[in-house]
Chains A and B, each alone.
Chain A
Amino acid sequence: MIRFENVTKVYARGARPALDRVSLDVERGEFLFLVGASGSGKSTFLRLVLREERASAGRVWVAGKELGTLSSWKVPHMRRRIGAVFQDFRLLPNKTVFENVAFALQVIGKPRHHILTTVPDVLEMVGLAGKEKRRPHELSGGEQQRVAIARAFVNRPDILLADEPTGNLDPTTSLGIMRLLDRINRTGTTVVMATHDDEIVDQMRKRVVELDTGALVRDQSRGVYGSDR
């Protein structure tokens, strides 16, 4: 599903590379934790998958497409197969829960009847049934992240990228979010989650990839957060 081949990313000429010759294969339906200290290259990895950045060297494949040769007008279509959630939720404050999720479908031109049937389904799935008319500021952090996940998942993407989705949440709420991501993973969606949260990684026992100053230092199936444990 995602394939990195000797990928290097240098932001500024002469600077230390954010990613340094990383090679990695993520299969369809896999759940992968991306761990490492701040600045280790986790976010750069996700940005490369979304093609918000282009690799300086090496090749990136996402859903069968080589992103280096993908023309820029095809990028939006590629992104429709990827959902993304972030630590800061990125919801639209002046739209309701329903409108926030529907927005993702509206802007890719989905018909109205499709939106009216799909959005309630996905809101029910993330556990927000009955809160469709609330606005983001009326919700708890965990609920806001659920809205964000619903928005990322409403178009049934092949890949879900999560950049520290539990970074702003307390442990109990985080656990709920992880259950949700696990459920999404079980529907066959590949999930890549960058995180600092050792407890969660240790509990889930999924594949763990560790980055250190841009280099891939560990790739372990059913791994834990710290390699020394």
Chain B
Amino acid sequence: MRLRFIFSEIGIGLRRNLSMTISVILVTFVSLTFVGVASLLQTQIGKMKDDWYGKVEVAAYLCPTHSTAPTCAGGEVTPDQEAKIKAALQQPEVAPYIQQIYFESKQQAYASFEKRFKGDFMASLATVDDMQASYRIKLVDPTKYQVVADVLSGVQGVEQVQDQRQLFDRMFLIMDRATLLSGGLAAVMLLAAILLITTTIRLSALSRRRETGIMRLVGASNLFIELPFMLEGAIAATIGAALAVGALWAGVKYLVVDWLGSSVQWIPYVTTADLTRVAPVLVIIGILLATISSVVTLNRYTRV
């Protein structure tokens, strides 16, 4: 009896304020989509870091024949310098950070260059002597780049120490900024959603003032009076959250997995499985949004 009565009240309320209900649904939909995008972007960054940081190396490029770097004053790197560099990397203070070192000679560099740019006219002009020998250093913890850089900088025969991670970090920075942007938009939209839900519930409460007045008079409990309004907001917000999850699912499935995944294959992408982790959070945020704003509003408008 009670439940059936409450549900019929909710139905009446939702239909009476149909346009407001729809706007609540849309605003929660958009705001939660932004929240979801922000969270998926972070997941994407995490995935790429996991995948790529395992592969990145620090490259210590050795001096080629013509170099303007001060450490290359003696021209091309000598075997003696090479040995010194290797010894520097094997010092006990540095060694624990290093997983593996291997040497790439000019010939090896030329071979991999040729392989990469096969058939390219400009590439066919390059010779072995245009290449640069290097030490490739794989670190135990890729973030400890600075340790190696400190040891090798200023050493004769080393032209430049390059952390490959920097190349990715620029990309991650872009993605972090994008996360910030969509997070900011999400915050603004969530605020709009709260205000809209508040207004909707207030209108709904005002339009049913007569009913709630009688309910109070005959001794209906506060919860019983307020529950239909709260559920109204919660239902609208849940529908909005469901739409947001649907939109994100479609985005991940068709845009990321199917389209990006087939055209740029070397990136580990977020999948719809990651979305199943985000989805419940979005629904909970939606429900919390509606509940909090309705409790605040109702305390003011249907008080005993």
Residues of A within 8 A of B214 (CB): 90, 92, 103-104, 107, 151
Give 1 or 0 for each of A78-97: 1 = CB within 8 Å of chain B CB: 11111110000010100000
Task: Give the contacts of A108-128 with B (CB-CB under 8 A).
Answer: 108-112, 115
- Decide yes or no: A76 and B222 within 8 Å by CB, A92-B210, A107-B215 being known contacts: yes
Min CB gap A103→B, angstroms: 7
Task: Tell me the count of chain A residues lying within 8 A, CB to CB, of chain B.
Answer: 30
A109 to B219, CA, bound (A): 10
A115 to B217, CA, bound (A): 18
Q: How many A-B residue pairs have CB under 8 A?
A: 64
What is the chain B residue whose CB lies nearest that of A93? B210
Contact B304 A92 (CB under 8 A): no
- Decide yes or no: A108 and B210 within 8 Å by CB, A72-B304, A75-B304 being known contacts: no
Min CB gap B124→A, angstroms: 87
Min CB gap B295→A, angstroms: 15
Contact B5 A79 (CB under 8 A): no
- Decide yes or no: A78 and B210 within 8 Å by CB, A106-B5, A111-B1, A112-B1 being known contacts: no
Min CB gap B98→A, angstroms: 68
What is the chain B residue whose CB lies nearest that of A114? B1
- Decide yes or no: A73 and B222 within 8 Å by CB, A107-B215, A109-B1, A110-B1 being known contacts: yes
Min CB gap A185→B, angstroms: 20
- Decide yes or no: A151 and B218 within 8 Å by CB, A110-B1, A111-B1 being known contacts: yes
- The answer to the question of B106 belonging to the interface, with a C-beta cut-off of 8 Å to chain A, is no
A115 to B304, CA, bound (A): 25
Task: Give the contacts of B194-231 with A (CB-CB under 8 A).
Answer: 210-211, 213-222, 224-225
Task: Give the contacts of B224-249 with A (CB-CB under 8 A).
Answer: 224-225
Contact A79 B1 (CB under 8 A): no
Residues of B within 8 A of A109 (CB): 1-2, 224
Contact of A92 among B1, B211, B217, B224 (CB under 8 A): B211
Residues of B within 8 A of A82 (CB): 219
Chosen A-B contacts, 19 in total, with CB atoms closer than 8 Å, are: A51-B304, A76-B222, A76-B304, A79-B219, A82-B219, A92-B210, A104-B218, A106-B5, A107-B218, A107-B220, A107-B225, A108-B218, A108-B220, A108-B224, A109-B1, A109-B2, A109-B224, A151-B214, A155-B219
Further 19 A-B residue pairs, CB within 8 A, beyond A82-B219, A111-B1, A112-B1: A50-B217, A51-B304, A72-B304, A73-B222, A76-B216, A76-B220, A80-B218, A81-B219, A83-B218, A103-B218, A104-B214, A106-B2, A107-B214, A107-B218, A108-B224, A109-B2, A115-B1, A151-B214, A155-B218
